[in-house]
């Protein structure tokens, strides 16, 4: 069929089909347009999402590697490092001009004998900024946790602050 014949048949469609045939062809063309412009992209997007969910599901099914978790955790000190910690605590207090008058110690075994917690409680006197620097530097030591802090000033005009601090030092028991 040539091009001229095709145009001749297309010119005959309105004559033989009538108004309802032309309306039907127009609706068919509109449905084809909606299918290609609206429905096909949604189907493609749905398939892409299903593939992404399947990949995530496969990633979740793979067991986590235990070594990556242990590498991310900070290493705890050995149980024989408590005296070195006490020396570091006193040096840190002296560096920040904090006067520690008395220290109470308590030793406790935890986690079925795998961990050992040393609890320390002591009063001290210093200025507020010195106490703040002391506590910030104290938190950087591995295994140290500041549990309670009580600051008190006798009079509003006093320069010195009375500090009551309780902290714990966690070590691995060997």
User: How far is Cα 17 from Cα 21, in angstroms, rounded to an integer?
Assistant: 5
Share of the chain above pLDDT 90, in %: 17
- 0.85 exceeded by pTM: no
Q: What's residue 46's pLDDT?
A: 92
CA nearest 159: which of 133, 128, 134, 130?
Answer: 128
Work out the burial of residue 119: count CB atoms within 10 Å of its CB; fewer than 13 is exposed, 13-18 middle, 19 or more buried.
Answer: middle
Q: What's residue 30's pLDDT?
A: 95
Residue 33 pLDDT more than 80?
Answer: yes
Q: What pLDDT, in 10s, does the model give residues 87-131? A: 888 888 889 888 887 888 888 887 777 788 888 898 888 888 888
């Amino acid at each position: 069929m040539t091009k001229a014949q095709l145009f001749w048949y297309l010119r005959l469609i309105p004559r033989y089909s009538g108004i309802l045939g032309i309306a039907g062809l127009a609706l068919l063309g509109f449905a084809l347009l909606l299918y290609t412009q609206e429905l096909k992209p949604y189907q493609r997007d749905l398939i892409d999402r299903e593939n992404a969910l399947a990949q995530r599901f496969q990633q979740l099914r793979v067991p986590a590697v235990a070594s990556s978790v242990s590498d991310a955790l900070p290493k705890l000190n050995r149980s024989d490092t408590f005296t070195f910690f006490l020396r570091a605590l006193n040096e840190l207090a002296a560096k920040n001009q904090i006067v520690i008058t008395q220290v109470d110690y308590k030793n406790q075994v935890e986690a079925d004998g795998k961990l050992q917690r040393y609890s320390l409680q002591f009063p001290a006197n210093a200025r507020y900024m010195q106490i703040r620097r002391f506590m910030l530097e104290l938190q950087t030591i591995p295994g140290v946790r500041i549990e309670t802090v009580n600051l008190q000033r006798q009079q509003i005009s006093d320069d010195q602050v009375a500090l009551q601090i309780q902290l714990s030092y966690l070590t691995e028991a060997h």
